[in-house]
Amino acid sequence: MTQTDTISKFDGGLTLVAYKHLSTGSAISSMEQCKQYIIPLQQHIGIISQPLVKKGERVLKGQMLAKPGNMISAAVHSPVSGIVSDIKQHEVPHISGLPDLCIFIENDFKDEWIERHPLADDYNQATSSGLRNIIRDAGIVGLGGAAFPSAVKQTEINIKTLILNAVECEPYISCDDVLMREHAQEVLTGADIIGHVIKARQCIIAIEDNKPEAIKAIQSAIDNDGTGFFNIQVVPTIYPSGGEKQLIQIITGEEVPRGRYPAEIGVLCHNVATAYAIYRAVYLDEPLISRITTVTGHGVKQPQNIEVLVGTPVSACIEHCGGYTESSDELIMGGPMMGFSLNSDTLPVVKASNCLLVTAKEENRHKQKHLPCIRCGKCVEVCPVRLLPQQLYWYASSKNVDRLIEHNLFDCIECGCCAYVCPSDIPLVQYYRYAKTTIWQQERERKASDIARQRHEKHQQRLEKIKLEREEKLRQKRELLKKKSNGNAADNKDGDKDNKQAAIAEAIARAQAKKVERNKGKDNENKEPG
Amino acid sequence: MFTVIITLAIIASIFGLILAYSAVRFRVEGDPVVDKIDALLPQTQCGQCTFPGCRPYAEAMAKGEADINQCPPGGEATIIALADLLDVEVKPLNAEHGEVKTLPTIVRIDEQTCIGCTLCIQACPVDAILGAAKQMHTVIESECTGCNLCIPPCPVDCIHIFEVRPTVRTWTAELPDVDYAAPHAS
């Protein structure tokens, strides 16, 4: 049933032209397999995963290629069966455009799966930790875009409500919408599994009111279910309602405190696509090797949603959708508000790639000079986290770290609302990104220099200790010599002679003993071959 | 007259005792200014400032015997921070002491050429080189500060400098160009 009680709202936000109809006209289409897949070892927030395979090794579909590097990390799996043709640096979809370590799989088109043990409906009997291990081993990360390892946030302490985020507030993107239309039952099963892990009492599925078909599909699945665990909450279409903290504020009316996790107010938030991936991992024992991605924009011939294997080159996805139009301009991974442009289409699709947007030339207004800030305050009105974007801009351009931190730079979710409304076209988010990464870099340098200082101090202490020890030894020797010479002077000469003679006798005895031993050894050697 | 002298003497001795006690109780170990300066230095321990390490340089600065612009690894950021702390004018880096690197560097030992002489181990100020006499030596890259002090003692010139390029994990965004407008400008 649809909840009818009034919902809260967050400050700011924008109503954007959605362009979702571009890609929702057709069903999800599956892509034919490619010859080569490129699997980056870091597709998640946290530590890079550690490769388990070697170059030249044959791998099966679904086989783990790399294990989590530590607690906050995620495994990656082979999307096809084939040969590991290389493990090397390759450009990955990242805002920096830098390369990272990737595993290359040459497809043998046999589609041979590893042995699987699907739990199917038995998941009800499984323990929380057992299910969490399955989710962790399946390499599941948040598929809404942040790619945070899912198992890490599934704590079972004090969680009352599971919120399934199906808001999908960015323009153009429709992968969650079509997923719900076509796989509503599976999504609910996935949510039930998560509910089982975290022992939630209720699950609220939050959907924006611009997705009536998805609402209908989920509603009928809920009616079939009949347990009363699930509820739909329709939320108004305001960008960025899909932000985790914004959505929690809409649904519960409570704000997640700064620097804290939603779990602390008894809420856990997962994307619908993540729930679907968890269904596939637990129910079917399929690791996260594919996802639904929206390929859209006026620069691509047949915008649509595709089910694509992780590691597929972007060029293959575009080709599957009819290729680029003549007016195509920029290739963006993610939505128009928070996405980043890709330098080439040889990059692979990763777990977090919810959208490939190809803009047409007239949609784009890049190469224009931005004007000075006139302090109109429009950015303040739209900021969903109530920051002062114009002040942050000011301090970022003057590199004033202390003031940036005082003005809560790190609360910025980089939603892009401020830059969108700015009449001077200032790329505000890029200033914040510059400031954030620079502060992180300074922090890293400070840590490194602290370690270097410690190591240098220990080094100095050791040298000092060695020096003191040497001096002490010298002193002792000197004293011994002194004593000896004093003693010699007092003793008669015969005693000295006796001492010397004894020392000589001892040395002779030692040499003889050694000789005997050596001879023995030789005898043994001689004996051995015979 | 006599009582006044006695009273003042008693008061004076009480204060004397309090002062003597607090001198022991609140004794400051070392010079706090030196610590503050040292915290701002990059701790490469490279000696380019002509002092044998960062702390000696910090001590010299605290005494006013060294200038704030003698640290090439710290660069402009360190000079500004030092000027701020010591309340003096910012000045450009003294080129006599070296130039600012564009990228941080580390060294690597060419293990094929290394003869295992241990001279580089003795030169390393942060114990970042591992090896033993007549054994292969190697640099623990995560601990290397890029001071290059190990290079001159090497008799076979097998230590080479490498730049540390940023990765997706250590990347920093650049300040946007003023000629660049917001991508979502409408």
Q: What is the ipTM of this complex?
A: 0.81
B45 shares contact with chain A (CB less than 8 Å): yes
Question: How many Cβ pairs within 8 Å bridge chains A and B?
Answer: 120
Q: Which residues of B touch A419 (CB under 8 A)?
A: 182-185
Could B127 and A440 be called an inter-chain contact, meaning their C-beta atoms sit closer than 8 Å? no
Q: Which CATH superfamily does the domain covering B32-97 fall into?
A: Electron transport complex subunit B, putative Fe-S cluster (1.10.15.40)
Are the C-beta atoms of residues B47 and B147 closer than 8 Å to each other? yes
Among A425, A441, A451, select the one facing B172 at the smallest CB separation. Answer: A441
Closest in B53, B170, B174 to A434, CB measured: B174
Q: What is the mean pLDDT of residues B139-165?
A: 94
Q: Which residues of B touch A46 (CB under 8 A)?
A: none
Give the model's pLDDT for residue B152.
94
Cβ atoms of A196 and A227 within 8 Å: the answer is no
Question: Which ranges of A138-238 would DSSP assign to H, the alpha helix?
Answer: 150-153, 175-198, 212-225
Provide the angle, in degrees to the nearest 10, between the axes of the packed helices A272-283 and A175-198: 60
pLDDT confidence band for A1 (50 / 70 / 90): very low
B186 interface with A at CB cutoff 8 Å: yes
Nearest to B168 among A42, A336, A451 (CB): A42
Task: Tell if the CB–CB gap between A459 and B143 is shorter than 8 Å.
Answer: no
3-state secondary structure of A40: strand
What is the pLDDT at residue A523?
Answer: 62
> How far apart, in whole angstroms, are the C-alpha atoms of residue A91 and residue A40?
9
Statement: residue A5 has pLDDT above 80: no
Contact A337 B53 (CB under 8 A): no
- The residue-averaged pLDDT of A266-285 equals 95
- Mean confidence (pLDDT) of chain A: 90
- Among candidates A396, A426, A438 on the partner chain, residue whose Cβ is nearest the Cβ of B172: A438
Say how many Å lie between the first and final Cα of chain A, rounded: 94
Q: Is A453 on the interface with B (CB under 8 A)?
A: yes
The minimum CA-CA distance between B6 and chain A, rounded to whole Å, is: 53
- Look at A437 and B168 and tell me if their CB atoms are within 8 Å: no
Q: What amino acid occupies position A170? A: E
What percentage of chain A has pLDDT greater than the value 90? 74
Which residues in chain A have their CB less than 8 angstroms from residue B166's CB?
Answer: 96, 98
The sheet with strand A29-30 has its strands ordered as A29-30, A304-309, A290-296, A355-360, A328-333, A340-341
CB contact under 8 A, A368 and B178: no
Q: Helix/strand/coil (H, E, C) string of A287-312?
A: CCCEEEEEEECCCECCCEEEEEECCC
One-letter amino acid at A44 equals H
Residue of B54, B127, B180 with shortest CB distance to A455: B127
Best CA proximity match to A4, nearest among A234, A311, A271, A340: A234
| pLDDT the model gives residue A525 | 53
- Mean pLDDT, residues A316-330 taken together: 93
Residue A528 is predicted with a pLDDT of 47
Q: Which amino acid is at B42?
A: P
Quick count: other Cβ atoms within 10 Å of Cβ A484?
A: 12
Fold of the domain spanning B101-166: Alpha-Beta Plaits (3.30.70)
Provide the residue ranges of all domains of chain B, joining segments of one domain with +: 32-97, 101-166
The reply to whether domains B32-97 and B101-166 share a CATH topology is no
Pick the CATH number of A20-288 from 3.30.70.2200, 3.40.50.11540, 3.40.630.40, 1.10.1510.10: 3.40.50.11540
Structure-token match 């010397």, residue found: A500
The nearest CA of chain A is from the CA of B79 a distance in Å of 15
Contact B169 A48 (CB under 8 A): yes
Q: In chain A, which residues have their Cβ closer than 8 Å to the Cβ of B181?
A: 365-370, 425-427
| Closest chain B C-alpha to A276 CA, distance in angstroms | 29
Average pLDDT over residues A88-107: 94
Fill in the DSSP letter of residue A370. P
Flag whether residue B58 sits within 8 Å of chain A, measured between CB atoms: no
Instruction: Please indicate whether, in this complex, the C-beta atoms of A420 and B173 are within 8 angstroms of each other.
Output: no
Category of A417 on φ-ψ map: left (φ > 0), alpha (ψ -120 to 50) or beta: alpha
> Cβ contacts (< 8 Å) between B143 and chain A: which residues?
451-452, 455
pLDDT the model gives residue A493: 55
Contact A92 B168 (CB under 8 A): yes
In this prediction, residues B1-16 reach a mean pLDDT of 95
Instruction: Show residues of chain A in contact with B127, CB under 8 Å.
Output: 455, 458-459
Residues of chain A by 3-state class (helix, strand, coil), percent to 5 = 40, 20, 40
Q: What's the confidence (pLDDT) of residue A507?
A: 87
Q: Where in chain A is the domain with CATH 3.40.50.11540?
A: 20-288
Mean pLDDT, rounded, for B151-157: 95
Nearest to A98 among B42, B167, B175 (CB): B167
The C-alpha of B28 sits at a distance from chain A's nearest C-alpha, in angstroms, of 20
Please write the tens of the pLDDT for every residue from A360-417.
887 555 556 788 899 999 999 999 999 999 999 999 988 888 899 999 999 999 999 9
Whether B40 shows a pLDDT value over 70: the answer reads yes
pLDDT of residue A4: 45
Pick from B45, B174, B181: which is nearest to A456 by CB? B45
Q: Any chain A CB within 8 A of the CB of B144?
A: no
Q: In the prediction, which pLDDT does B101 show?
A: 85
Q: How far is B104 from chain A (nearest CA, A)?
A: 11
For A447, which residue in chain B has the nearest alpha carbon? B42
The label of the residue with tokens 């009616």 reads A223
Chain B closest CA to A399's CA: distance in Å?
A: 10
Query: What confidence tens digit (pLDDT) does each residue in A169-228 have?
Result: 999 999 999 999 999 999 999 999 999 999 999 999 999 999 999 999 999 999 998 888
Structure tokens at A518: 């050596």
The overall average pLDDT reported for chain B is: 89
Q: What are A14's strand-pairing partners?
A: A239
Which of B35, B43, B129 is most worth mutating to test chain A (most A CB atoms within 10 A of its CB)?
A: B43
Residues 110-139 of B with CB under 8 A from A: 124-128
pLDDT tens across A134-156, in order?
Answer: 999 999 999 988 899 999 988 77
Check whether B43 has a pLDDT greater than 60: yes
pLDDT tens for each residue of A106-120? 999 999 999 999 988
